[in-house]
Amino acid sequence: MIKRFKLVLSKIRITMKQTVVRIILLLCTCFLWSCNSNRTFTERELALVPQVQKMTLGQSSFRFKKSTGFVVENAEQEVIAGQLASMFEKAAGWKPQVIVGGGESSNQVYFKTEPSLGEEAYLLDVKKNGIIIKAAQPAGFFYGIQTLRQLLPAEIENNPTHENVDWLVPVVSISDSPSFKWRGYMLDVSRHFFPKEDILRMIDNLSLHKINRFQLHLVDGNGWRIEIKKYPKLTEIGAWRVNREDKYWGSRPKQQPGEKATYGGFYTQEDIKEIVAYAQSRYITVIPEIEMPAHNTSALAAYPQFSCTGGPFTVLPGGSWPITDIYCAGNDSTFLFLQDVLSEVIDLFPSKYIHIGGDEADKTEWKKCPKCKKRIKAEGLKDEGELQSYFIKRIEKFINSKGRVLLGWDEILEGGLPPQATVMSWRGTQGGIDASRQGHDVVMSPEVPCYFDHYQGPKDQEPMAFGGCNLLSEVYKFDPVPKELDKEAAKHVLGAQANLWTEFVPNFKHAEYMTFPRIAALAEALWSPKEVHSWDSFWNRIQLLQKRYDRIGINYSKSASKIAVQAQSEPANSNK
């Protein structure tokens, strides 16, 4: 009996020893894991898009945790830091504290003003025990935060709480600033209307890529999209068309007598204020485009008295060419109407630039209109081409009187460029070349490769699109400064802009598909200096960035990843 008791006791001791050893091993493993959790990253693991100007990657990493805080200097910085802190709250389940002022301590993110830096420049210094972001202006701090956001795990982007994510940022030193001040994107909301919530979502996604100009094409023949209180029929009538969405864009019959116009929508002035404020908080300027003298059937359907013929007109349900509907340039009431419209628009948009279109103005009606003929004679104009120049110059004078700058498509060069106008060159780059040589600022937006309504892959594998094919690689290679320009003229190139026309883009998911990842390629072409441009590097980073897109929920195109295989015979005497 005693022997059995001793044997059992011996086994208990052995078991206890094994348990203690296991506990010790587990504690050691946890300790070692904790020590190694601040791991060192390689450059190929980073997906910074656009690529930064200068970067030195170090050893180890900084770890965000519940005790991490943001220490800022003022209310503007507080808002910027709060945006990233709110992302942690949704993704991690805890929110870093944002403090205005405060002493130095470890594991904090510090905002520090550095007056010597440019308006959008920033310095980001990540060490194992703290992070410092330096900038001269709020925009620089915002872009520093966007870079920090891209250095964090992709899980930061989506709302479900992730309890097992190690929120590490590599130790790195970054000095960064943009190459061009205009990094733009235009969305056509006339051909197809996108609700306010979609516009806000697009602003969010553009800001990730450091895009800073967002043009809204608010007016065209297919719909008037902005409330003008003095002229309520612009939205009561002009915002709606008959529903022909089941038919091909270019073969949609016009509205017939007795048919109701039910397809469309518009933004109230309160919507516009919210959109503008939301964009401002992400350092994006929203630029309104109010088309004139053509592309305005939606306005003439509401107020036909401002046309040459008096109408009647109906909002176009689809494509129609040529579009001869045009404002009457010989009627002074036309200009009073447009000044009233622009006054309300200018009050809503703080943008320095007001885009007035000016493209594709068919002058058939001007040639027949007695009032337009009289205007040509009275003003000593040569022809209808100079009448368009007269029209644009008269509008520019009004816009300038409001402290703003007129921006128009390159057709505004025809008949003589308005004195202070800025040109957006879409018919290639020649319009921009001519304008910059005349001392005017220009934004390059050539159809190739900046029109995102064009195909981005094999046509038989892509949804219906417009025109040719603008591949991701072609967008990436784009240089907005033509080689023909000398240094003085090149100074007038503000940057470039991508345009998404929406004839074949019926909903927001489709708009995302046509935009991403091509906007990432353009963002890098405009932000990053030429010496860091590398297609191979970008291609690696875009694969990683797409994982972030997945987390955000962006419906991006994968066309660039499609491989086309073509068999080709090789001459027998070829030398390899």
CA distances in angstroms from 67 to 36, 70, 108, 322, listed in the order given: 20, 10, 8, 64
Nearest to 308 by CA among 330, 323, 335: 330
* Distance, CA of 352 to CA of 359 (rounded, Å): 21
Could you tell me the two tokens for 429?
């780059």
Q: Which helix (H) or strand (E) holds 393?
A: helix 384-401
φ/ψ of 31, rounded to 5, equals: -65, -45
Residue type, position 249, single letter: W
Cα 381 vs. chain centroid, distance in angstroms? 40
Count the neighbouring beta carbons within 10 Å of the beta carbon of residue 197. Answer: 9
227 in helix, strand or coil? coil
3-state secondary structure 110-153: EEEECCCCCCCCEEEEEECCEEEEEECCHHHHHHHHHHHHHHCC
Q: Which helix (H) or strand (E) holds 552?
A: helix 535-552
Active site residues: 220, 295, 360
Output the DSSP codes for 453-510. Answer: TSB-S-GGGS---SSSB--HHHHHH--SS-TT--HHHHTTEEEEEEEE--TT--SHHH
Give, in degrees to the nearest 5, the angle at Cα 548 between 216 and 78.
Answer: 70
